[in-house]
A and B are shown apart, each in its own frame.
Chain A
């Protein structure tokens, strides 16, 4: 079988960047299977895909697409760029027609293709709706439909699932999987390692270099026998994880429900359990290695558990009332209810996760809770102070981090820090000391004079966290703070958060990473503007199926399916 696309020894450097975007990369895409192009943001995935479409030209190396130069066989290539490439002011039907015409479909083919695609993507009901009015998941499906309007021989998908909820992600995967039978070759770029795990073969990119190529199971295999699952320990799972990560024997660790899962550096050499205060009832059992373990291992393991940020953070005094409160929060936009009677009561030192599909009302709820949006009815309060009476005083007590918006790209790192120190009213004589401490903790020394916009994504995220905690707030709001960030940086981020929580800081977080949901003490699941379930991760899993062993993602999907079934039963 010939390869649908092959890239050999390709390098590409952009004029303004000191680092090569692609550094001697070789890759092949075979018909009839999904090839994963995996790596964090900025690893070079988009550059590589654009080279395959002919939109970018490599500096060196050779590229063949369907046996020709890139761009020469564009009729047979389906391409879905990161932002889907849809015309938002055109309807679903008009978008499809445009791409059908551009790809030269004749009338007879067209009718059949449209009928099939609209069925396949479940967009039949929305044909006349403007693409801009579709939800994220539906836009993604329409983008795919446009790429498939003339059955391609090679389908290039550039992070089709970024920012899309697990339900939509899974549907999209199933749709693409269904195409393989006809011999289409698919290249699927993603930052989600669980998606990578399901690909036939994977090319793992890191900083422009391929660090692994082969079936994902092969990478997981390299960690076989080095995974242990700890249960029955004394104390909190987060404290145990932090202490375990500090041990030299441990390469990486995550939380899984009530258990802590560790990746050991050497098979059969666990850390000294007594030293990490695990207690006498501790059970340690081997567990299955996953793709992500292999990835982390390849990059040399995760960060140590103890957070330098937390060590000298002001301890939050004990308090009686809830640290964050939402009582009957409702938000209506015209006749549309975006959030309906949300009730949350978050204690000091608790991590509360807010999960839900795109457009479910999660962001609306989040924004009302941190005072950015005024509720139509109900109240929200932080530290017992309602936003209704003097929002500025309340805001001074909270830290807010939304990676996309919180930094000034055209200010340098030092200027950003000084600015946030200023607006949070830190006394002038203390500002410099606090900034120096943060720069040291987050290893920002090299970048102090660089504009924030030019930082690598991982550093941007560190800077955003530094700015959010510069005034040592007792409450932190994190809105998809880790999206697009590589797993090592995400782990480091969570070590900081776990450390802060141990000092009494209260955290409200939204995320699309289901493994991050496991760090939460409790989770509120928002769906169709309603709070459909609230509880610990294990409680939610049990609620979903009575089985605490399932992944958080499966629980999420099952709970949403349940809510849908209940709604339909009520309607019937």
Chain B
């Protein structure tokens, strides 16, 4: 290892980063787009879902239940006399479900009224919304069915995210995506680029060692990713009002351990394929998509099929997202951070070993 050569290579990398608009685009513009998208555009919160309510019976219990639906904070209710009237609305997507209070509702003896069935029709083409409507409609009915106001009222309060705002966990998740992109996609591109342009050949004919070369690729992108992460954090706190309850040090430590794994993966990809196009495809498929879909960022791992749950264990981002969400909305909980950080360092070590295996200072 020769410090002078490493510094010279890092300097070169720095100039290239500054000259290359696409690198800066991925490092600083793409994060902005993602943050705004997840901060404002995407919301997993549900409220005021439009449904249709068919009231076939005009008995007192039926009217009472209808009243409960109309008063519910979850639904905007459109009343109708028959299902046929509402079906076109459902097909057109203007309402998300139809609740039918049948003709014989409440006509049985008073005690059984509370257990009378209602019919719930939902739009199965949107499974998430469908199950949401079904569950909440059932909830409204169950609440109405309470014989009398209970002696003890349950006043649920959610710790850490009292309003259950999805932004609070989506924005930290978006930061994870950004770091995956910079760490894996950019590094995968930069070495492949040297192969493609033939510059690696001239470089390898100098006294530069493989280790020096790899370090010169890691350091700039490590710093770039941390810089981008810092920018995202400032925006998350100031613009989106996401709290940062943990310490900046914990955030830094979590990000740094994740980057060992993400950068390692990027290096491994580009050392193995030597072609920018293929490298970017592999990076997107093996890093970006899993970080999006299999990390618990959008879809909860606990509700995935068992096989997929096992698969998520080899997705590095899965070990980052809980830590990131925690450090933002809860605080420094090292008991949670440490195992995750350890897992990430493990990934980093595996990728480093693989990279060393496939890269030699040779064109063979």
- A residues contacting B by CB (< 8 A) are 50, 53-57, 71, 74-75, 77, 79-90, 94, 97-99, 101-104, 130, 143, 146-147, 156
Contacts and interface: CB of A to CB of B under 8 A. Distances in A.
B5 A102 contact: yes
B198 A102 contact: no
B197 A74 contact: no
Contact of A101 (B8, B16, B205): B8
Interface in B305-330: none
Contacts of B207: 74-75, 102-104
Contact of A85 (B4, B16, B19, B201): B201
A75 B2 CA distance: 13
Q: Which of B15, B16, B203, B206 has the most CB of A within 10 A?
A: B206
Contact of B19 (A86, A89, A98, A103): A89
A79 B197 contact: no
22 contacts: A55-B363, A71-B361, A77-B205, A81-B202, A81-B205, A83-B197, A84-B202, A85-B205, A87-B199, A88-B197, A90-B16, A90-B19, A94-B12, A94-B15, A97-B8, A98-B11, A102-B5, A103-B206, A104-B5, A143-B202, A146-B202, A156-B205
B7 interface: yes
B208 interface: yes
Contact of A98 (B8, B197, B198): B8
Interface string B230-272: 0000000000000000000000000000000000000000000
Contacts, number: 91
B363 A50 contact: yes
Contacts of B9: 98, 102
A570 to B, nearest CB: 38
Contacts of A99: 202, 206
Contacts of A87: 12, 16, 197, 199
Given A55-B363, A94-B12, A104 B204 contact: no
Interface in B159-207: 197-199, 201-207
A56 B15 CA distance: 30
B128 interface: no
A101 B364 CA distance: 27
Contact of B16 (A71, A77, A89): A89
A53 B363 CA distance: 11
A51 to B, nearest CB: 10
Interface string B352-364: 0000000001111
B37 to A, nearest CB: 30
A74 B209 CA distance: 11
Given A55-B204, A56-B364, A104 B16 contact: no
B45 interface: no
A97 B9 CA distance: 10
A147 B201 CA distance: 12
Contact of B208 (A84, A97, A102): A102
Cβ-closest 10 pairs across A and B = A85-B202, A101-B8, A79-B205, A83-B198, A102-B206, A81-B201, A55-B363, A53-B205, A89-B19, A74-B207
